[in-house]
Chain A
Amino acid sequence: MRYFVRKIGFFVLTLWAVVTLNFLIPRLQPGDPAELMVQNLAGKNAQLNRAQVEAMRDLLGAPSGSLLSQYWNYLVQLIHGNLGVSYTYFPYTVAEVIGKAFWWTVILVGTVQVLSFAIGILLGAFAAWRRNSRFDTSVTVISTFVGTLQPFWIALLLIYGLGYGLGWFPTAGGYQASTPGFNGAFVYDAMSHAFLPALTLMIVTPIGWILGMRNTMIMNLGEDYIRLARAKGLPDRMIALRYAARNALLPSVAGFALALGGILGGTILVETVFDYPGLGRLMGEAVGIKDYPLLQGLMLLTAVATLLANLIADLLYGILDPRARRAAA
């Protein structure tokens, strides 16, 4: 129990630190975004109009008052979910923009991650159990080869082959001819659009799990408790699952929770290639056109997600590995 309380305590502390840093860092940067925007609007060599700059500040809701009161305001706004107004999607707020993109990414990448993890662990465990068999060799060789390929390149190949060549799947966007909402036509539409990005990711993501699981499991198979389990005459399935895989799973589980945290920002290239309306593309855009509030909102979201994932990893680890509970307590 102590273990879990400690871990949650740590989480709250780091969360506070992240939120505070997110507040401080932009304020430490030189330059005035309002000036920058007016300059952009007016042209490179034009004289700045102070009134315009002031107006722009007001428009952006630029901060005033002492740092402490700014900080307080920031926290209050944050609790209300107010992250400011996006420059590019004006007049939409950052929260609204992110909210729209959020589910597209979470559903796509979340499904992919869960599936890849499951597939990767199973393949890896099986390859290790049948070490040096034809199955093991082909899995290892193929994984190592595919692992060297860039996802966006695979994406381009798929677009060319399955999209343009065969015309089976749409190659860009999240949906086309249907009205968003929970109806059959839209779900079908969205799924067919998600297919190619999902396939791209499914080709790449399981590889890490396969190789990782295979290696830890092979190491575990050399342990004394596996030999003892064999000597006990237990059925192979039981030895493979309850003794070997159960122990080999531990490092992967921690990695998996972290991977879930990375969902939100980790697929910029793939989403951009498919012009998929998710967080990755949004982040790519935000960086490209210096949409600071949006970028800041996305950063905060990613950081919080990573933290949450870490917390889940720790808690899960505590449940799965009794040794962790005591060592940290």
Chain B
Amino acid sequence: MALLDVRDLSIRYEPKQRAAVDAVSHLSFSIDDGEFVGLIGESGSGKTTVGMAVLRLLERPGRISGGSITFDGTDIAHLSQDELRKYRWREISTVFQSSMNSLNPVTRVEAQFADVIQCHTALRGREVTERIRTLFDMVLIDPKFMTAFPHELSGGMRQRINLALALAIGPRFVVLDEPTTGLDVVVQHSILENVRRLQAELGFAVLFISHDLGTVLDLSDRTMVMYAGKIVEEQATRQLLREPLHPYTKGLLGSYGDPRAETVRITYVPGRPPDLAHRPGGCAFAARCPERIDGCTELEPAETEIGDGLVACHVAAIQRGAADNTTGAEVGPAIRTFAGPQFVKSAAESAEAVRGRPLVTVDNVSKTYVRRQGLRAVRTEAVTGASFVLRRGGVTALVGQSGSGKSTIARMITGVDAPTSGQITFHGSDGDQVVARMRGRRLRSYRGSVQMVFQDPYSALNPTKTLGATLARPLINFQHLHGTQLRDRVIDLLETVALSPGGRFVNRYPHELSGGQRQRVVIARALAVEPELIVADEPISSLDVSIRAEVLELFDKLVHERSVGILYITHDLLSARMLCDEVVVLNEGKVVEQGPSLDVIRSPQDDYTRLLLDAIPNPFAATRD
């Protein structure tokens, strides 16, 4: 018998003001003792809701509206909070999303272990301290941090401590909900290694919920893919990688490229998930599906067993002979890849770009921040002797962990900060200029030539302004446009970033758009002043994988059609390879390696680069050969 058996689970959100939404409908899965199961889904797919339901932590207006959650033979879906208490933490524990906030900020870490240990076990006094010490050892953290407050720890340490906390009483089942989202790749890698090792040693079962395909596929024995509140595919991970059944899964897998290949191809899934309040008839994915047949929009596909896996797709079922082709529609042969739009980046293209004219020269630049502490001055060397060149019509990646000085360099290039020594020269259309020496009108016009695209498109747009107003602002400020001219230009910009017809988007508000669409508005705003350089700070890291390629594609188009230069700041070498011609690797304020992307990725010279590369989850390694 399975440890956890979820049958026909439906979860409904019933907000007072708006229509009720079935966030999860008729979902079934089971997890065996000691099994590591992944649940992949994009934002809004209902994956976190499922996790919360299993933990019985759903809060109003959400509630379990049907089905059962059987844990070790008992249906816990309808137990009262008091009855649940004997399962909590002793049997089922959890690590939350990027737990910056899941430790009580005002009490010492130790106390937060002690309360739960004393609550559920007979350990007292020194035994408790001993237990906490053992747990800290398990996650490789020095027990001296037991008496620390949460804010005194780094994000990675906090997350390790959360992991230790989850294992405090030796649970049989742990729900990991996006445990490493928001952490650096290197930190993420070491934490997940830790999870993998502890899981093997202690044998607890795991439900690993994440939008990050790479990590889920890397760790899980079995993977479930969720779309619009349903599981559309479930297979053993190795099998899923070898032969994905559902077109959506293929789309997700397609968004992962091999950075070492001569030509990287990634696909993306156009469109956006359906509004669950008005679920379309038939298959929820049909509108975005390249393999769609007529029946897809009429009849909702049932879960069909294929081999050891399950899939909810008419086409896949027909292709594998698990269902009759009743409508007689044209069904192609089974394919592995997503037959949708794709984004291609070849090494030859990059070689071309590297010959481009320089746009910005960063020459031996250092930046030292001096912070006054009473009478003492504390000096922090944020950047030391960095030199590199940004080219017209080329994309350069600035890669490094947080604290490596990436953002400081960006600030100096945009003219917000001045370098302590060395100089940054901008080879603009009106001659060479040293960035730090610009003042007044010149600085103003420079700001027009350099634009930023921020990491989080959700907070980079003013929620109370329409897209039209947002885009009009820089046009009024820098180009003094007004009237119909202004309106035409705004629509033109929207079309440039593929929000067309532009007229339909002018009066929309940011909250009506998907993350990818919002990021395109942010890019459109950057383009408004026809910049020569765009500084993009992690522009795709907060986007769902299936739409990342769409933004990369847009950047790529800008480079080619308008020959702007792009400085792409990231901690992720994989995405750097997909977009960038050259890579500059930064570690502790120093440039440790630079060169054409492919060269750096194929034969890294520096240990740090290798560390970054190794940290990239690589689920395909096993299946590739």
Contact = CB atoms under 8 A, between A and B. Distances in A.
A230 B92 CA distance: 12
Interface in A285-329: 320-323, 326
B509 interface: no
Contacts of B87: 233
Q: Which of B97, B99, B105 has the most CB of A within 10 A?
A: B105
Nearest to A225: B104
Interface in B63-118: 81, 84-90, 92-94, 96-97, 99, 101-107, 115-116
A323 B101 contact: no
B151 A225 contact: no
Contacts of B101: 223-225
B106 A234 contact: no
B104 A227 contact: no
A232 interface: yes
B102 A224 contact: yes
A19 B86 CA distance: 62
A231 interface: yes
B151 A322 contact: yes
Contacts of A225: 101-105
Contacts of B57: 227, 230-231
B88 A233 contact: yes
Contacts of A250: 106
Contacts of B142: none
A224 B102 CA distance: 5
Contact of A323 (B81, B86, B105): B105
Given A223-B101, A224-B99, A323-B105, A232 B116 contact: yes
24 contacts: A223-B101, A224-B96, A225-B102, A225-B105, A231-B55, A231-B89, A231-B92, A232-B88, A232-B119, A233-B87, A233-B90, A234-B115, A234-B116, A236-B81, A238-B119, A242-B104, A242-B115, A246-B104, A246-B106, A321-B106, A322-B105, A323-B106, A323-B149, A323-B151
A243 interface: yes
Contacts of B81: 236
A143 interface: no
Contacts of B561: none
A233 B104 contact: no
Interface of A: 223-225, 227-236, 238, 242-243, 246-247, 250, 320-323, 326
A233 B84 contact: yes
B607 interface: no
Contacts of A230: 57, 88
A165 to B, nearest CB: 45
Contacts of B88: 230-233
Contacts of B115: 232, 234, 238, 242
A238 B509 CA distance: 43
Contacts of B102: 224-225, 227-228
B89 A232 contact: yes
For the complex of A and B, 3 pairs with smallest distance between CB atoms: A233-B88, A224-B102, A224-B101
A228 B94 contact: yes
A320 B89 contact: no
Nearest to B117: A232
Given A229-B104, A247-B105, A234 B119 contact: yes
B560 interface: no
B103 A233 contact: no
B152 interface: yes
Contact of B96 (A227, A233, A234, A242): A227
Contacts of B93: 231-232
Contacts of B106: 246-247, 250, 320-323
Contacts of A321: 105-106
A230 B97 CA distance: 16
Q: Which of A232, A246, A321 has the most CB of B within 10 A?
A: A232
Given A224-B96, A326-B152, A233 B105 contact: no
Contacts of B149: 322-323
Contacts of A232: 88-89, 93, 115-116, 119
Q: Which of A236, A238, A242 has the most CB of B within 10 A?
A: A242
A231 B89 CA distance: 7
Nearest to A320: B106
Contacts of A326: 151-152
Contacts of B107: 242, 246
B160 to A, nearest CB: 15
Interface string B44-60: 00000000000101000
A321 B93 CA distance: 28
B55 to A, nearest CB: 6
Contacts of B85: 233, 235
Interface string B466-502: 0000000000000000000000000000000000000
B350 to A, nearest CB: 42
Q: Which of A225, A242, A320, A321 has the most CB of B within 10 A?
A: A225
Contacts of B104: 225, 229, 242-243, 246-247
A321 B96 CA distance: 23
Contacts of A224: 96-97, 99, 101-102
A232 B104 CA distance: 13
Nearest to B99: A224
Contacts of B96: 224, 227-228
Contacts of A231: 55, 57, 88-89, 92-94
A242 B55 CA distance: 22
A218 to B, nearest CB: 12
Contacts of B89: 231-233
Contacts of A323: 105-106, 149, 151
B376 to A, nearest CB: 12
B340 to A, nearest CB: 36
B203 to A, nearest CB: 21
A246 B111 CA distance: 14
B545 to A, nearest CB: 24
A243 B112 CA distance: 10
A227 B48 CA distance: 13
Nearest to B91: A233
A227 B89 CA distance: 13
B120 interface: yes
Contacts of B99: 224
Nearest to B111: A242
A70 B107 CA distance: 52
Nearest to A321: B106
Nearest to B100: A224
Contacts of B94: 228, 231
B59 to A, nearest CB: 8
A250 B104 CA distance: 13
Contacts of A236: 81
Contacts of A247: 104-106
A243 B90 CA distance: 20
Given A224-B99, A232-B115, A235-B85, 9 more contacts: A224-B96, A224-B97, A228-B102, A228-B103, A232-B88, A233-B86, A236-B81, A247-B104, A322-B151
A247 B105 CA distance: 8
Nearest to B148: A322
A246 B104 CA distance: 10
B592 to A, nearest CB: 32
Nearest to B96: A224
B204 to A, nearest CB: 15
A271 to B, nearest CB: 38
Q: Which of A228, A243, A322 has the most CB of B within 10 A?
A: A228
B184 to A, nearest CB: 20
Nearest to B105: A323
A131 to B, nearest CB: 9
Contacts of A322: 105-106, 149, 151-152
Nearest to B102: A224
Contacts of B97: 224
A323 B153 CA distance: 12
Contacts of B103: 225, 228
A227 B96 CA distance: 9
A236 B84 CA distance: 12
B48 to A, nearest CB: 11
